Chain A
């Protein structure tokens, strides 16, 4: 019994450790500037204001970089999902010469050390005259997430019995009709889980965003946020509000698909 109590106590301490930075981010963002810069000890905010959020929202570059991030991330994820799904269907549902080879290509591509490909990709994009233009990031994030999407979706397609499609075809559906009416709806959760992972990867990406885009008007949120502090070193309230706004979309996605995330990532990373 005492053991059980101790385990619960330890678990709560661990929970505090994980939750604290989020708590501190949100409460700091809500604090008036004066309260943040006193040496008083204020674990709980004494008074609350929306001023920091207004500052962050109106700060030069925030809305631009938010829009840039959304545009780049969503287009890359959409492209990776469509292209990945086509490949997944071929690899999972069809038997053809060289299939094993293609499966191997997807598997190996997933392990591509993208951080180590910075130089050739930088040079390639420079030759294509794509530096400093947003599509360059769409292209890179598409390539980063594609092998994972194809691989994970292949797992999800494998999980849907072929007999269901065959039954629909017996009932008079064409092959495409059977796929669209039977398999595609069942793939919904898999598509969502896969896209969330791809979204988070692209949403977080920093090295390529920093290297391939110099133009401040075309920065993504991570790069904007990292320069926010050096420019306005003392405005921690604004930085916390911006961080909170940056976190919100990911948090919402995570809460929706939390359980699927682990299966999706683990399946994609290793399992066949």
Chain B
């Protein structure tokens, strides 16, 4: 007998006494917490991002390239990773050498890059979370992981949802998803919170208004 049959057989015998009702699970919880206007949702996102030590910036579509340029310059980044589908105008003012994430590039090569700029799939106001789904403006999972500095652009308000349930509704489970709430952090040493250890130690989120389609 294969282990598959053995385990499934054990499960079935273990459940012999159990009524196999098929009633749907009752869900008495809320779809979102509190009633907020669109603008209030964006404010809450900004507040919760900052509470988790992400650096929050705001810009309109015209100011965005200058802001990205300034943030990269402040870090002194010489090389910046960009996903293939990043709107080119975002980087129009930036000086650093643009590195594209090629399939052949090794993790070691990525490790030499100081910063990465991406978009996102959506952001969750109640938890201060940005979610990446590997879309063309976000790139592969590794590019937002290896460099120490991540600049993420969130189009507000249309990429902002209120809550976790609303986020799951909009996301595609077949894509690889990365939910990010603040920079990498650890509390393993006497519960002292330290930014790092492994992911980007600096997360900058730009809430941008007035982009295409508005």
Is B one of A's binding partners? no
Binding site for B on A (CB under 8 A): none
